[in-house]
């Protein structure tokens, strides 16, 4: 088992030993420096082995069979749901819906709650720093329903303009949907305050937790969130499974999303009666082994301690900003480390981010380059793309040093 839940005793070497891929050499003598956890995290042995064991011992479909394997698979799947509920402090596991990912969770809200509740002229507030998955579903619904979308501006320093938000709330929106943490700027938005303000204005609040739930403690009751969406693959779990948390009354009133098996109570030739939550929103055979893997990922993260992870990432990003900013020609985007999670997006004068990424890869350093599915945000900063290094519990100061050395090599190659 990994280390103790103790900020001061954070033993990154021991954590790294839990992640087989981190021992990889990209080429002989060139060890991997994985700085792309915002795209997807690496997986600890505990998750890989739990899923392997599920397939070796208990694989069966859920909710359907009465044989031992079906009962074990169902217990694993529903146990994972309870584990997720505890992790985000949901009042009930019934409020945890398994989806494919954050994107599907947000689409589910837009196309069930949104279609049932929003009409021409209704206002949805988003922010300028949203990932496309919290923009496009609302644009699609706006087109269908004649909604009005408004955007909280991002200030030059990478923080949201809260005065502008207060003014937008005077328009009496129906929903405020925003990212808890930007995948480009790293900005951690004041979710609790934003939700309280939304509620005071009579609006519901959806939190895109794709980058928050994996990195620091998130408590849906403390936040008073109406909806929270996140993905397992960014939190040491497998791809193919995500979560939508919702307030019970809202979920109960919402129509189903997809139709098919498991989401029904009764089916007639011309009609059906939907199942109770959460099954109402889980049509067809779900990602069973992946749910079990997500449960193992949560066990792993909690054994390290979410607070300790947040503290470690804070130290790593502060060091990264300090080192990157000392490189002539490098410009780092987003707020100071105090308001930021483990993301450092930057440009290097005269070099396209794709070239940076490609050259860094030859030194074993994996970063992402592009618009990171946040084109409007890049446009706002007048950039087609940025290079992005992102950090998680397994990253070290030495890896930041390797990143910086590799950037100096890029500078040398480009003269």
Nearer to ligand C6P, 94 or 132 (CB): 132
* Cα angle, residue 88 at apex, residues 198 and 164 outer, rounded to 5°: 20
CA distance 15 to 19: 7
Other CB atoms within 10 Å distance of the CB of residue 115:
14
Alpha carbon distances (Å) from 29 to 21, 23, 25, 40, 364: 15, 12, 7, 25, 10
Residue 174 catalytic? no
Pairing of strands 368-370, 386-390: antiparallel
The one catalytic residue in 373, 375, 383, 404 is 373
Residues that bind ligand C6P (CB under 6 A): 38-39, 101-103, 131, 133, 179, 183, 208, 210-211, 231, 368, 372-373
Q: Is the dihedral of CA 34, 51, 215, 16 positive or negative?
A: negative
**Smallest distance from the beta carbon of 210 to ligand C6P, in angstroms?**
4
| C-beta closer to ligand C6P: residue 38 or 95 | 38
Alpha helices in 159-287 (DSSP H): 162-169, 191-200, 220-223, 248-253
Q: Nearer Cβ to ligand C6P, position 197 or 210?
A: 210
Q: How many CB atoms lie within 10 A of CB 192?
A: 14
Q: Could you tell me the smallest distance in angstroms from the CB atom of residue 175 to ligand C6P? A: 16
CB of 248 to ligand C6P, least distance (A): 24
Strands (DSSP E) found in 271-342 = 272-274, 330-333
Q: CA dist 163 to 126, 154, 168, Å?
A: 15, 11, 9
Contacts of 296 (CB under 8 A, 6+ apart): 46, 47, 50, 51, 237
What is the smallest separation between the CB atom of 170 and ligand C6P, expressed in angstroms?
27
Closer residue to ligand C6P in complex, CB, 123/184: 184
Q: Least distance from C-beta 35 to ligand C6P, angstroms? A: 12
- By beta-carbon proximity to ligand C6P, the closer residue of 101 and 395 is 101
CB of 131 to ligand C6P, least distance (A): 4
Cα dihedral 63, 65, 67, 72, rounded to 10, equals -20
Q: Which two tokens stand for residue 320?
A: 């990264």
Structural element, H or E, at residue 45:
helix 45-53
Q: Which is nearer to ligand C6P, 73 or 374 (CB)?
A: 374
Question: 233: closest CA among 36, 2, 22?
Answer: 36
267 Cβ partners below 8 Å, 6+ apart? 273
Positions marked active-site: 373
């Amino acid at each position: 088992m990994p280390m103790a839940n103790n900020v001061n005793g954070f033993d990154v070497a021991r954590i790294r030993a839990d992640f087989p891929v981190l021992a990889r050499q990209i080429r002989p003598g060139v060890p991997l420096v994985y700085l792309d956890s915002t795209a997807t995290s690496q997986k600890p042995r505990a998750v890989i082995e739990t899923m392997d064991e599920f397939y070796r011992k208990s694989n069966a479909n859920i909710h359907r069979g009465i044989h031992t394997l079906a009962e074990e698979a169902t217990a694993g799947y529903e146990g994972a749901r309870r584990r997720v509920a505890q992790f985000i402090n949901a009042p009930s596991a019934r409020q945890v819906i398994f989806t494919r990912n954050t994107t599907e969770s947000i689409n589910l809200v837009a196309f069930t709650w949104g279609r049932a509740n929003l009409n021409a002229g209704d206002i949805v507030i988003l922010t300028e720093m949203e990932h496309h998955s919290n923009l496009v579903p609302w644009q699609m619904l706006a087109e269908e329903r004649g909604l009005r979308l408004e955007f909280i501006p991002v200030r030059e320093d990478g923080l949201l303009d809260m005065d502008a938000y207060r003014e937008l709330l005077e328009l009496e929106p129906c929903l405020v949907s925003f990212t808890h943490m930007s995948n480009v700027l790293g900005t951690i938005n004041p979710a609790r305050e934003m939700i309280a303000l939304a509620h005071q204005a009579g609006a519901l609040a959806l939190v895109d937790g794709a980058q928050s739930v994996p990195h620091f403690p998130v408590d849906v009751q403390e936040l008073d969130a109406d909806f929270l969406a996140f993905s397992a693959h960014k939190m040491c779990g497998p791809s193919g499974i995500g979560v939508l948390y919702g307030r019970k009354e809202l979920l109960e009133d919402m129509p189903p999303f997809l139709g098919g098996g498991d989401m029904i109570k009764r089916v007639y030739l011309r009609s059906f009666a939907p199942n109770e939550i959460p099954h109402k929103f889980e049509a067809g055979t779900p990602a069973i082994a992946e749910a079990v893997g997500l449960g193992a990922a949560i066990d792993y993260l909690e054994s390290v301690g979410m607070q300790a992870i947040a503290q470690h990432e804070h130290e790593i990003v502060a060091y990264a900003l300090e080192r990157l900013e000392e490189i002539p020609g490098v410009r780092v985007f987003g707020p100071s480390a105090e308001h930021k999670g483990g993301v450092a997006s930057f440009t290097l004068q005269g070099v396209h981010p794709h070239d940076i990424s490609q050259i860094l890869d030859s030194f074993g350093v994996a970063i992402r380059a592009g618009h990171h599915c946040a084109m409007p945000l890049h446009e706002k900063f007048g950039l087609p793309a940025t290079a992005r290094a992102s950090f998680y519990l397994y990253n070290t100061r030495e890896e930041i040093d390797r990143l910086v050395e590799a950037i100096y090599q890029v500078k040398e190659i480009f003269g």
